[in-house]
């Protein structure tokens, strides 16, 4: 018997089902692998640890009434948790749909959600009601009859105190003989994505959305029996039942006619992935055409136009296991490239580091550059595309390899590259908070590698942790302010005012070079603070002489260092910025070189 619902167990929407209770010939038929049902009083009780489940729920209930006055009489409890800090989902005596927290702090108004519209205004004799919870978001839902899809009656975006999971659900009035309202069916799913359970969608008709390839994301499709429109719902990841990340293959579309409507993250914001890319062969990528970007409620819900008959579609230009394999196959033949496994992820996937240098010259005589990519979601692995233009530049300028070593980790979060997701690791932690404590297999792999080098007398001179996120203006660097270098954090690291001033001067020179060569304009940058948590923080204090930055690559725009204007991100732009980044680093390093 399964005791969990997670990214491995869910293949189809029904795999989210927590339980179902159905009235059949006057008796309640119960089915669940996770809850037990007690009759007196009626209660559904979770049999496993709540940590085994997503912190989300969709509860759906079919109710039957004899006449509308049943809705406007007494309060009717559909389901509740009678614990002192529990909740109550009910119809009030005006027919409003209500969700209320029992613990009324801080005020009654803040502990209750009310549909405002009385159900008596629109429902038939058999109708559906329900709610969803994800984080602090609550939706109240209803459908006028059992077969209609649920509509959102009311939304509370920031409902403080909502339970993260529903371990106990008591349908108190299940067998209340005096009630003129009857519960015909009560079903719960471990996702707030209620749209997946509304039926009504047709069969595919020639056009299919597939995930049968390496690196494909999880998703669910709703077909409508034609090739006009397909709804794509992003699927479960490590912590949530939806994701920013999408990577699928569409076949049999009608070019410029088929439309794909993307239902992304539950919060309704584009956040990390506002633009999409498509490819015929997974090698050459183009920006997808968004016909519409939001739904009528203003939530991000892009409608994309099919650019071809068969194509890949992704929330970024993917660099995943397939791309890593291709690049390492190609590069391992080069005499100046060494490929090492420096650690393994939580799920034991190898983390690869490429070391680029001329091995005939001892490393202790060289300068050392470390670039890491992809601590987070697959969309953040964009920076790995910098590797090839950097290699091409070094091939043309081999003498540099006698003076520098470039260490490049294309993908840190290999598990997230494999499964897709929003960027935490399998332990549900943000690895970019785990460089000082809570060390993760991913961070300790990298730390140990560089610690070993330190023992051999090798210091890192320049470090960049490369991330990506869609809605940034161009590609911002995250830097420490000048004040940081004279502040208390680094008092013991920089041995005096002169040292600190030297570092500030070096930083400004680095920023100037990054703007000049890579288009990373100072005006676009973000001033970050030292948090004793991030990769950038670790390298900042472990190597006092080094430059240490984070870089956020926007997927929307970049500033072209040659044309001196903002342009749309594409594969060519990644080549330009990648090569420029290396040139800027090399220029900095040679300016620092003694003599
Ligand atoms: Zn990130």
Residue pLDDT, tens place only, 104-153 = 767 888 899 999 999 999 999 999 999 999 999 999 999 999 999 999 99
**Cα(428) to centroid of ligand 1, in Å?**
14
Banded pLDDT at 489 (limits 50, 70, 90): confident
pLDDT at residue 488, rounded to an integer: 84
**Cα(434) to centroid of ligand 1, in Å?**
13
Residues in CB range of 348: below 8 A, 6 or more apart? none
297 within 8 A of 266, measured Cβ to Cβ = no
**Cα(538) to centroid of ligand 1, in Å?**
16
- Least confident range of 288-302, 499-513, 522-536: 288-302
Q: Which of 296, 231, 295 is nearest to 259 (CA)?
A: 231
**Cα(375) to centroid of ligand 1, in Å?**
6
**Cα(362) to centroid of ligand 1, in Å?**
34
**Cα(215) to centroid of ligand 1, in Å?**
19
Banded pLDDT at 494 (limits 50, 70, 90): confident
Instruction: Report the distance separating Cα 411 and Cα 492, nearest Å.
Output: 33
Q: Which residue has the higher pLDDT, 201 or 7?
A: 7
* Residue 252 domain flag: yes
**Cα(534) to centroid of ligand 1, in Å?**
10
Q: Is 410 helix (H, G, I), strand (E, B) or coil?
A: coil
485 within 8 A of 545, measured Cβ to Cβ = no
Report pLDDT digits (tens) over 357-386. Answer: 999 999 999 999 999 999 999 999 999 999
- Least confident range of 189-198, 246-255, 349-358, 466-475: 466-475
Mean per-residue pLDDT, 163-178 = 92
Q: Is there a single domain that holds both residue 246 and residue 186?
A: no
- With a pLDDT cut of 70, the percent of the chain lying above it is 99
Residues in CB range of 271: below 8 A, 6 or more apart? 244, 265, 300, 469, 470, 471
Residue 194 has pLDDT above 70, yes or no: yes
187 within 8 A of 19, measured Cβ to Cβ = yes
Residue 12 has pLDDT above 60, yes or no: yes
Asked casually if ipTM beats, i.e. exceeds, 0.90, the reply is yes
Strands laid side by side in the 56-65 sheet? 27-31, 17-24, 181-189, 56-65, 126-134, 137-143, 151-156
* Residue 4 domain flag: no
How many CA atoms, within 13 angstroms, populate the side-chain half-sphere of residue 226? 5
Q: Is there a single domain that holds both residue 271 and residue 122?
A: no
CATH, residue 511: 3.40.630.10
Q: Is there a single domain that holds both residue 427 and residue 574?
A: yes
**Cα(91) to centroid of ligand 1, in Å?**
44
* Residue 308 domain flag: yes
Q: Which alpha helices (H) appear in 2-133, and where do they start and end?
A: none
State the burial class of residue 406 (Cβ atoms within 10 Å of its Cβ: 0-12, 13-18, 19+): buried
pLDDT at residue 90, rounded to an integer: 97
Q: Which residue has the higher pLDDT, 176 or 403?
A: 403
Q: Is 125 helix (H, G, I), strand (E, B) or coil?
A: coil
Q: Is 594 helix (H, G, I), strand (E, B) or coil?
A: coil
Instruction: Report the distance separating Cα 137 and Cα 142, nearest Å.
Output: 17
Mean per-residue pLDDT, 157-167 = 92
Q: Is there a single domain that holds both residue 166 and residue 32?
A: yes
* Residue 202 domain flag: no
Q: Is there a single domain that holds both residue 139 and residue 220?
A: no
Q: Which of 416, 384, 409 is nearest to 244 (CA)?
A: 416
* Residue 6 domain flag: no
* Residue 2 domain flag: no
Return the HEC string of 134-180.
ECCEEEEEEECCCCCCCEEEEEECCCCCCCCCCCEEECCCCCCCCCC
pLDDT at residue 497, rounded to an integer: 76
106 within 8 A of 92, measured Cβ to Cβ = no
**Cα(461) to centroid of ligand 1, in Å?**
22
Instruction: Report the distance separating Cα 52 and Cα 32, nearest Å.
Output: 15
**Cα(435) to centroid of ligand 1, in Å?**
14
Q: Is there a single domain that holds both residue 49 and residue 189?
A: yes
Q: How many domains are there within the chain? A: 3
264 within 8 A of 446, measured Cβ to Cβ = no
**Cα(432) to centroid of ligand 1, in Å?**
8
CATH, residue 289: 2.60.40.3120
**Which whole-number Å values give the CA distances from 588 to 58, 351, 477, 546, 582, in the listed order?**
55, 28, 16, 11, 10
Instruction: Report the distance separating Cα 59 and Cα 80, nearest Å.
Output: 11
Report pLDDT digits (tens) over 33-52. Answer: 999 999 989 999 999 999 99
* Interstrand relation of 350-356 and 404-409 (parallel, antiparallel or unpaired): antiparallel
**Cα(377) to centroid of ligand 1, in Å?**
7
Q: Is there a single domain that holds both residue 174 and residue 272?
A: no
**Cα(583) to centroid of ligand 1, in Å?**
24
pLDDT at residue 595, rounded to an integer: 46
Residue 528 gets the label, from left (phi > 0), alpha (psi -120 to 50) or beta, of beta
Q: Is there a single domain that holds both residue 34 and residue 68?
A: yes
Q: Is there a single domain that holds both residue 355 and residue 468?
A: yes
Q: Is there a single domain that holds both residue 182 and residue 229?
A: no
Instruction: Report the distance separating Cα 377 and Cα 245, nearest Å.
Output: 7
Residues in CB range of 501: below 8 A, 6 or more apart? 485
Domain residues for the domain of 126 are: 13-197
**Cα(187) to centroid of ligand 1, in Å?**
37
Return the HEC string of 484-534.
HHHCHHHCCCCCCHHHHHHHHHHHHHHHHHHHHHHCCCHHHCEEECCCCCC
Residue 73 has pLDDT above 90, yes or no: no
Mean per-residue pLDDT, 166-187 = 93
* Residue 379 domain flag: yes
Residue 288 has pLDDT above 50, yes or no: yes
DSSP run (H or E) holding 331: helix 321-331
Domain boundary among 148, 174, 197: 197
Residue 236 has pLDDT above 70, yes or no: yes
Q: Is there a single domain that holds both residue 419 and residue 352?
A: yes
CATH, residue 101: 2.60.120.200
Residue 365 DSSP class? G
Banded pLDDT at 594 (limits 50, 70, 90): low
**Cα(17) to centroid of ligand 1, in Å?**
32
Instruction: Report the distance separating Cα 553 and Cα 547, nearest Å.
Output: 18
Domain boundary among 164, 197, 230: 197
Domain boundary among 197, 217, 238: 197
Within 10 Å of residue 559's Cβ, how many Cβ atoms?
A: 22
* Residue 322 domain flag: no
Q: Is there a single domain that holds both residue 117 and residue 189?
A: yes
């Amino acid at each position: 018997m399964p005791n969990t619902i997670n990214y491995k167990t869910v293949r189809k929407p029904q795999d989210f089902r927590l339980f179902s209770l159905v009235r059949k010939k006057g008796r309640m038929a119960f089915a669940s692998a996770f809850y037990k049902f007690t009759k007196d009083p009626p209660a559904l009780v979770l049999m496993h640890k709540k940590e085994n489940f997503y912190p989300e729920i969709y509860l759906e209930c079919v109710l039957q009434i004899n006449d509308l006055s049943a809705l406007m009489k007494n309060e009717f409890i559909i389901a509740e948790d009678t614990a002192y800090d529990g909740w109550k989902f009910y119809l009030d005596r005006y027919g409003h749909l209500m969700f209320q927290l029992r613990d009324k702090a801080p005020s009654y108004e803040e502990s209750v959600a009310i549909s405002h519209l009385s159900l008596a205004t629109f429902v038939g004799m058999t109708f559906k009601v329900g709610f969803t919870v994800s984080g602090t978001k609550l939706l109240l839902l209803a459908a006028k009859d059992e077969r209609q899809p649920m509509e959102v009656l009311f939304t509370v975006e920031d409902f403080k105190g909502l339970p993260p999971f529903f371990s106990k659900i008591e349908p108190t009035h299940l067998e209340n003989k005096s009630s003129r309202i009857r519960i015909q069916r009560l079903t719960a799913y471990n996702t707030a994505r209620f749209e997946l359970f509304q039926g009504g969608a047709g069969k595919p008709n020639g056009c299919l959305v597939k995930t049968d390839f390496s690196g494909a994301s999880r998703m669910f499709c709703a077909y409508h029996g034609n090739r006009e429109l397909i709804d794509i719902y992003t699927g479960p990841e490590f912590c949530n039942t939806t994701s920013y990340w999408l990577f699928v293959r569409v076949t049999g579309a009608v070019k410029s006619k088929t439309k794909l409507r993307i239902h992304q993250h539950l919060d309704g914001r584009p956040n990390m992935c506002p633009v999409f890319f498509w490819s015929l062969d997974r090698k050459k990528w183009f920006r997808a055409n968004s016909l519409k970007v939001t739904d009528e409620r203003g939530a991000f819900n892009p409608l994309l136009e099919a650019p071809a008959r068969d194509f890949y579609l992704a929330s970024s230009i993917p660099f995943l296991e397939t791309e890593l394999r291709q690049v390492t196959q190609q590069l391992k033949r080069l005499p100046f490239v060494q490929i090492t496994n420096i650690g393994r992820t939580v799920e034991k996937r190898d983390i690869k580091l490429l070391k680029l240098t001329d091995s005939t010259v001892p490393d202790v005589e060289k300068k050392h550059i470390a670039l890491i990519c992809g601590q987070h979601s697959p969309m953040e692995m964009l920076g790995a595309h910098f590797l090839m233009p950097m290699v091409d530049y070094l091939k043309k300028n081999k003498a540099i390899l006698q003076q520098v070593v470039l260490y490049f980790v294309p993908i840190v979060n290999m598990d997230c590259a494999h499964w897709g997701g929003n960027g935490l690791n399998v332990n549900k932690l943000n690895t970019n908070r785990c460089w000082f404590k809570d060390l993760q297999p991913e961070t300790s792999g990298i730390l140990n590698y560089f610690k070993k080098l330190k023992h051999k007398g090798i210091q890192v001179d320049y470090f960049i942790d490369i991330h990506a996120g869609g809605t940034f203006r161009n590609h911002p660097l995250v830097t420490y302010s000048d004040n940081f270098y004279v502040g208390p954090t680094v008092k013991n690291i920089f041995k005096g005012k002169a040292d600190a001033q030297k570092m500030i001067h070096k930083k400004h020179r680095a920023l100037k070079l990054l703007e000049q060569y890579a288009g990373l304009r100072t005006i676009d940058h973000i001033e970050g603070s030292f948090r004793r948590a991030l990769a950038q923080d670790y390298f900042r204090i472990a190597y006092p002489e080094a430059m240490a930055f984070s870089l956020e690559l926007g997927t929307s725009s970049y500033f072209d260092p040659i044309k001196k204007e903002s342009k749309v991100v594409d594969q060519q732009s990644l080549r330009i910025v990648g090569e420029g980044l290396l040139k800027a680093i090399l220029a900095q390093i040679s300016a620092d070189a003694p003599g």
